[in-house]
């Protein structure tokens, strides 16, 4: 899949750092301001869609290969489950907020709410990787013209 014109590529190259910063900000301060894991994850997923559309599929896959995306997806889900099981082990009930009971931080600070920032980060990683995988798989098809005038649907060679 080809990229787009040089204007789009230059603007995307300039703007991608700010979008990444905004997504990370939404995820990290999800317990203090509106945002949270879902909003930050979807914004970072949109960032990778922007890069794939602007530069073409081959260049964006050098930033973040699909094998790494599969790994990060599973890592996010497993981290969330790990926090839940640690709550069962150390707190007595499933998903107990064990860090808040042991070390309550100051209110309105970044490290204040126990296991909630950790869960936010896990969900943000998971949602961003899922959206990136869905877009990469859907965006690789091209329509080619057959010799008798009909159209066919051809998919690029997938790397395994």
Partner 1 sequence: MGIELILIIILVFILLGAVIAVEIRDLLSAVISLGVVGFGLSIAFVFLQAPDLAIVQIAVEVVLLILLIRATIRREVRSTHAHINWPSLFLVVILCLGLVGFAYIALEELEFGAPAASKVEESPTNHYLRQGLTETGAANIVTSVILDYRAYDTLGEATVLFTAIIGALAILRGVARKKKGDK
Partner 2 sequence: MIFPLCFALFVVGLYCVLTKRNVIKIIIGLSIMEYAVNLFLVLLGYKKQVPLSQVQAPIIEKVTNLDDFFMKAVDPLPQALVLTSIVIGLGVTALAIAICIRLYQRYGTFDIDQMRRLKG
Tell me how far, at minimum, the Cβ of 34 lies from partner 1, in Å: 4
Count interface residues toward partner 1 (CB under 8 A). Answer: 56
Tell me how far, at minimum, the Cβ of 118 lies from partner 1, in Å: 9
Q: Which does 3 bind (CB under 5 to 8 A by kind): partner 1, partner 2, none?
A: none
- Evaluate whether 25 touches 56 at the Cβ level (below 8 Å): no
Taking CB under 8 A as the criterion, the residue among 106, 148, 149, 153 binding partner 2 is 153
Contacts of 76 (CB under 8 A, 6+ apart): 122, 123, 124, 125, 126, 127, 129
Integer Cα distance of 138 and 101 in angstroms? 45
Place of tokens 């894991």: 37
Contacts of 4 (CB under 8 A, 6+ apart): 53, 54
Query: Segment contacting partner 1 (CB under 8 A): 2-10, 12-20, 40-48, 57-65?
Result: 40-48
User: Which residues make up the interface to partner 2 (CB under 8 A)?
Assistant: 33-34, 36, 38, 42, 108, 127, 130, 134, 137-138, 141, 150, 153
């Amino acid at each position: 899949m080809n990229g787009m014109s040089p204007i789009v590529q230059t603007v995307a190259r300039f703007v991608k750092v700010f979008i990444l910063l905004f997504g990370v900000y939404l995820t990290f301060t999800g317990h203090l301001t509106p945002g949270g894991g879902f909003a930050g994850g979807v914004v970072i997923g949109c960032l990778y869609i922007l890069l794939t559309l602007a530069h073409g599929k081959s260049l964006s896959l050098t930033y973040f290969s699909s094998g790494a995306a599969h790994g990060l997806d599973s890592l996010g889900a497993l981290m969330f489950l790990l926090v839940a099981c640690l709550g069962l082990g150390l707190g007595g009930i499933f998903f107990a907020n064990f860090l808040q009971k042991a070390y309550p931080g100051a209110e309105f600070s970044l490290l204040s709410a126990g296991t909630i920032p950790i869960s936010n980060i896990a969900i943000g990683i998971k949602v961003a990787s899922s959206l990136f995988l869905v877009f990469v798989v859907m965006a690789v098809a091209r329509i080619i013209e057959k010799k008798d005038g009909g159209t066919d649907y051809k998919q690029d060679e997938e790397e395994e």
